[in-house]
Structure 1
Amino acid sequence: MLDPKKIEDIARQIGASIPPKFREVADDVEAKVKAVLQAKLSSLDFVSREEFDVQRQVLLRTREKLEALELQVQQLLAAQAADKTE
């Protein structure tokens, strides 16, 4: 999910772009834009950058463990084959 602070900043920027004579409704517009953005973005299937980075680290650690286990299996199979030839 996107950072709520970023959504507030986007809503504020949109509100600030409203001409001065409509400034009194800018707060209402800002709040409504924020609500719409949050609703639409929450319905999308996105993850935050933080969640992505965490999952990436988990995947890297898992890959490292898998490679270590594959090496162990190869060593065990080699040792087993050596024992059979003796």
Structure 2
Amino acid sequence: MIDSKFFDELSKHLSAVIAASPAADIEKNIRALLSGVFTRLDLVTREEFDVQANILQRTRANLQALETRVAQMERAVGEEKTVLAHNPE
């Protein structure tokens, strides 16, 4: 059976080799490049998106409530017109 200590040591050595190699520099450069691209795309964070989604949800609820009130008022005005039309004074 192979000792797990062997794999731990191998992993440490490989990590050290990768950190000292050009791969680490390449990763840094790619991250910087992608960061610049994302900045130019004018993206929003997840937190900002969630805040705006919550605002939109509340706005829709308020709009529905107002639409209901307007419909009730329109019915009331229509009923008043009907009553006045049948009872001219």
TM range (shorter): 0.5 to 0.7
Summarize the alignment of residues 69-80 of structure 1 with structure 2, pairs less than 5 Å apart: 69-80=66-77
Q: How many Å separate the matches in 1 of 2:64 and 2:20?
A: 61
Q: Partner of 2:82 in structure 1?
A: 85
Higher RCO, 1 vs 2 (CA within 8 Å, ≥6 residues apart)? 1
Decide which structure has the larger Cα Rg and report it: 2
Per-residue CA shift, 1:12-49, capped at 9, x if unaligned? xxxxx988176165664454333222111111242211
Using the size of structure 1 for normalisation, the TM-score is 0.63
Q: Partner of 1:67 in structure 2?
A: 64
Q: How many Å separate the matches in 1 of 2:34 and 2:42?
A: 14
Q: How many pairs align?
A: 70
Identity of aligned residues (%): 40
Unpaired runs of at least 5, structure 2: 1-13, 84-89
Summarize the alignment of residues 1-86 of structure 1 with structure 2, pairs less than 5 Å apart: 20=17, 23=20, 28-86=25-83
Using the size of structure 2 for normalisation, the TM-score is 0.61
Unpaired runs of at least 5, structure 1: 1-16
